[in-house]
Copies of this chain bind each other. A is one copy, B any other.
């Protein structure tokens, strides 16, 4: 058994789950691409579902640790804190396009494993975003607004280029793997933070009065 076989299996699984979907990928396909035999996969992950759970956990553990790490910055400025989280999440997703794309796609299914992942990670993520938005309202850095609807928009912006990576490439000629994309797209989300969350317009109105 190769020392790095586990890593090779995960890499192969991510590529295949992304291009053929979870249901469209067999353990045999993964074994072929990873150059291991099926027993090695069974040894590390039990079965295909175990491998899917591993990918979900791997993705969301890192995703949440980014939020947790920057969360404490909230005390010095809520808007800046959210911008730092956004930059790091976007960077993480751009560095892991295949994983991000397939995790978001598979999370749209209504299965047992998805429900379990949601009840752990998505609830934690919601907790953090809720705290950030509430603090932003309290400090008047953000205009008061429905938190759930802000989360929909914010997460929509973060997810869209990865769920639709082919669409971006084939139709819009935008390549989410390029450094230029990351920089440009970050500016877009930041201006959403300024324009939709921020109190800019209200300040302007006050300036007029």
Contacts and interface: CB of A to CB of B under 8 A. Distances in A.
Contacts of A105: 105, 108-109
Given A108-B101, A152-B161, A196 B201 contact: no
Contact of A152 (B23, B24, B109, B160): B160
A159 interface: yes
Interface string A169-199: 0111110000000001100100110011000
Interface string A146-170: 1011011101110111011111101
Contacts of A119: 170
Interface residues of A, number: 56
A103 to B, nearest CB: 11
A110 interface: yes
Q: Give the oligomeric copy count.
A: 2
B159 A172 contact: no
Nearest to A192: B196
Contact of A118 (B114, B152, B165, B171): B171
Chain A binding site: helix, strand, loop or mixed by DSSP?
helix
5 contacts: A19-B110, A21-B23, A159-B163, A160-B160, A207-B208
In the A-B complex, the 9 residue pairs with the smallest Cβ-Cβ separation, listed nearest first, are: A156-B160, A23-B24, A23-B23, A204-B204, A148-B172, A195-B195, A156-B156, A122-B171, A105-B108
Interface of A: 19-24, 101, 104-105, 107-110, 114-115, 118-119, 122-123, 126, 146, 148-149, 151-153, 155-157, 159-161, 163-168, 170-174, 184-185, 188, 191-192, 195-196, 200-201, 204-205, 207-208
